[in-house]
């Protein structure tokens, strides 16, 4: 009896292999939550392996990138796994717990002073990387924001979804940072002939899908959105876009924990909120949402405010057809697989200088 309840025993060669797969958990009204310990491990492992296989780097070389947290951890683990050196230029969102782990894993970590301006922050980190590369020309810059190599690892996640839901239309909901996770999974499943609606989730203020003229009075949601252009985002893959405030993301993250036991971060809370809404609009599809990380990093900034959380059924989005009408706390728009060029058109139309 016990044996039937237990997963088959697997002895992993490295921790990164053990934690890369998400757990699929049924939550609420038949939503599937893909709950990752820390999502970018698949992506970093596969990217480093590909660089080694193609001879772009050799064992012992140094890989460098900028990260606000999750990618730093994944890259440090991948470097540890494949015998590479790792240098991280982090923002101050790389907290003490992570910084100490990275250092013990053998990575070198430097933090550029944080400013209140996210764009300045991101630009400062890129400038610092360019300086380091000038001084160390053999270092390889991973460029998670721009290099399509980061799509490769997620084919395994798409295969997992294909096994969980072998037939019928799907809807995939997830936060968009670099766009590699949501984009790769949708692309791979579509290439297999699956009918997949891709629903991206953004914070207000993000320029990725043209919301830089909006502002969340509270704070942004770590890891998703951007104030500089990420060339890894493939705009033409997305069917619907949601913009969610910190307060609503926090409220949904609290509900996700309370109703299902899943303790996940703010981007997961926002994705859950949007998945519940999308399902109420079209229950003929199977809705899968991504919970990219655990809730630990968000205890002080979000979960401790649980008494202020709004009930799920009190939150409704504003359905908009123009970026002009974007409004906090929650807006949704049919994106209809527009390209970035058409985004530039939309920005011009609503008077935002690109």
Ligand X SMILES: Cc1ncc(COP(=O)(O)O)c(C=O)c1O
| Binding residues for ligand X (CB under 6 A) | 70-71, 175-182, 222-224, 265, 267, 292-293
In whole angstroms, the minimum distance from the beta carbon of 290 to ligand X comes to 7
By beta-carbon proximity to ligand X, the closer residue of 70 and 326 is 70
In whole angstroms, the minimum distance from the beta carbon of 71 to ligand X comes to 6
In whole angstroms, the minimum distance from the beta carbon of 351 to ligand X comes to 28
In whole angstroms, the minimum distance from the beta carbon of 234 to ligand X comes to 11
The interaxial angle of helices 41-53 and 70-82, nearest 10 deg, is 40
In whole angstroms, the minimum distance from the beta carbon of 5 to ligand X comes to 31
By beta-carbon proximity to ligand X, the closer residue of 81 and 297 is 297
User: What are the φ/ψ torsions at residue 109 (nearest 5 degrees)?
Assistant: -130, 130
By beta-carbon proximity to ligand X, the closer residue of 230 and 330 is 230
Residues 6+ apart with CB under 8 A from 136: 62
In whole angstroms, the minimum distance from the beta carbon of 284 to ligand X comes to 27
By beta-carbon proximity to ligand X, the closer residue of 61 and 114 is 114
List helix spans (H) across the chain.
2-5, 15-19, 41-53, 70-82, 96-104, 118-135, 155-164, 180-191, 246-260, 266-281, 340-349
Q: Judge contact between 244 and 203, C-beta under 8 A.
A: yes
Q: Judge contact between 184 and 158, C-beta under 8 A.
A: yes
Handedness of CA 196, 274, 204, 265 (dihedral sign): negative
- Which two structure tokens, joined as six digits, stand for 213? 């003229």
By beta-carbon proximity to ligand X, the closer residue of 83 and 287 is 287
By beta-carbon proximity to ligand X, the closer residue of 40 and 279 is 40
**Cα separation of 165 and 32, whole Å?**
10
């Amino acid at each position: 009896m016990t044996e039937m309840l237990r997963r088959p025993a697997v002895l992993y060669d490295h921790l990164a292999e053990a934690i890369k797969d998400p757990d699929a958990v049924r939550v609420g009204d038949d939503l599937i939550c893909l709950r990752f310990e820390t999502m970018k491990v698949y992506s970093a492992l596969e990217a480093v392996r590909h660089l080694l296989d193609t001879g772009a780097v050799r064992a012992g070389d140094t890989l460098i990138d900028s990260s606000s947290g999750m990618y730093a951890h994944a890259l440090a683990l991948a470097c540890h796994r494949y015998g590479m050196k790792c240098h991280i230029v982090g923002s101050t969102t790389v907290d003490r717990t992570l910084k100490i782990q990275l250092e013990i894993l053998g990575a070198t970590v430097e933090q550029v002073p944080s400013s209140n301006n996210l764009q300045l922050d991101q630009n400062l980190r890129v400038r610092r990387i360019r300086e380091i590369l000038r001084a160390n020309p053999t270092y390889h810059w991973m460029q998670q924001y721009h290099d399509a190599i980061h799509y490769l690892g997620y084919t395994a996640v798409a295969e997992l979804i294909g096994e969980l839901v072998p037939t019928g239309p799907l809807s995939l909901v997830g936060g968009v940072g670099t766009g590699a996770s949501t984009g790769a999974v949708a692309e791979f499943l579509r290439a297999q002939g699956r009918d997949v609606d891709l629903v991206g989730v953004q914070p207000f203020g993000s320029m990725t899908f043209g919301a830089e003229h909006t502002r969340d009075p509270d704070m942004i949601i770590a890891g998703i959105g951007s104030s500089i252009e990420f060339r890894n985002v493939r705009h033409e893959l997305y069917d619907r876009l949601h913009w969610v405030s910190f307060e609503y993301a926090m409220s949904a993250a609290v509900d996700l924990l309370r109703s299902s036991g899943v303790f996940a971060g703010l981007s997961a809370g926002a994705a859950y909120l949007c998945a519940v809404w999308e399902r109420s609009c079209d229950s003929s599809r199977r809705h899968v949402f991504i919970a990219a990380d655990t809730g630990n990093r968000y205890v002080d900034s979000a979960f401790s405010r649980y008494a202020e959380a709004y009930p799920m059924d009190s939150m409704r989005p504003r359905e908009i057809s123009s970026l002009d009408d974007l409004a906090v706390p929650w807006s949704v728009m049919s994106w209809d697989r527009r390209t970035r060029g058409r985004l530039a058109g939309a920005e011009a139309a609503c008077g935002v200088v690109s």
